[in-house]
Amino acid sequence: MELSYVMVTPYTVAKSRTGGVIARLLSRLDLELAGAQIVLPDGKFVADYAALLRKQNFPNQLTLLADYVETHFISGGRPHRVLLLLFRGQEACRKLSDICGALHAENRGIESLTGETIRDTYADLIVDPLNNEQVTYFEPAVLTPRNQKDALEDLALIGAFLEGKENIAANMDYPSPSKIEKTLVILKPDNWNYASSRPGTIIDMFSRTGMRIVGIKVHQFSLEEALEFYGPVEEALKKKLAPVFGRKAAEILEKEFQIELNEKIRNLLTESFGREYAEREFQNIVEFMSGRRSGSGAGKSVKTMILVYEGEGAIGKIREVLGPTDPLKAPGGTVRREFGSNVMINTAHASDSAESFNREKNIVKIGENGLRDIILEHLGH
């Protein structure tokens, strides 16, 4: 059982290609996505990481990756967003290396390109046609260690660097800061039932808004978190569903016993059976999100991914791409229309206001990220 990582470069993140990279990784690997975090490298990390790359890589790649890290992770004194993806499983390093791909000169014949690996699709290595040793442009798209020895060295450095670091990246000076909003998105458990490109595809769909991802983490809701998160909708759900279930119960009773129920009995059915059934639906939502049900100690492990998007009008733009609660009523091209099943299992959540964002981010503790703890546990610290 190995632990390794994929580091998505600042250029790939800035070009909103993260969804495509994640989709490729998740759909073609039998590895567990154990953690994810947006980081802003500092000068010491850049120097130390570049030194490790120079020590670890093949002679002909001795300076390419290290030079890239030194010149592109920080520029003009400003750190750039880097996405760390942590994977766990058998032969994790080999599998990640295979899917990330080798560094090839992209100025060879166009027909020879396959797009099979991540670097085939997103990387560029262009050399001078008159001097094959002179690189004129280089963008690796992703970085990943070739073996577990290198991975453990890198992870030790990453783990030390992450101590005390914020989980929300703040490296942008906006011309109109008052117009900038943050919003919270949750990719719900139905996206993680099996190896699939769905999570990455959904992120790719949100990228059309032009909003920046400034925070990300893999999260498992506790029962308490799920109850608090969805608490505000509990009473609204009962008011909406209780009359529906009460009316349906009345229809079944009238048909079964060949009688006509009066309004008083119908209201009693709504306030008793209807509200009870609506409560059960609320508990189904809680169980869906946390894997656990109130009053039950048993449960299962379910995964979500939480993202924070930032930009002008972020809340409205993200919700427009998300679509309404009921996938059947959502317009074509929206996330919920494409991937939602019903109003209960509708694939993703997005904050509907600044107040909701502030409440929700506190519940899921968006300022915290367990990625460093996973690394330290694997290293035996």
Q: Count of CB atoms within 10 A of residue 183's CB? A: 28
Per the listing, tokens 């109109």 go with 176
Q: Hey, what long-range contacts does 90-95 have (CB within 8 A, 24 or more apart)?
A: 90/1, 90/2, 91/2, 92/2, 92/3, 92/4, 92/31, 92/148, 92/151, 93/2, 93/4, 93/144, 93/145, 93/146, 93/147, 93/148, 93/150, 93/151, 94/147, 95/29, 95/30, 95/31
CA dist 38 and 13 (Å) reads: 10
Active site residue 72: no
Q: Which of 80, 219, 349, 378 is catalytic?
A: 349
CA dihedral (243, 248, 251, 252) positive or negative: negative
Q: Coil, strand or helix: which one is 92?
A: helix
CA dist 373 and 127 (Å) reads: 41
Taking every pair of C-alpha atoms in the chain, what is the biggest distance, in angstroms?
Answer: 93
Active site residues: 349
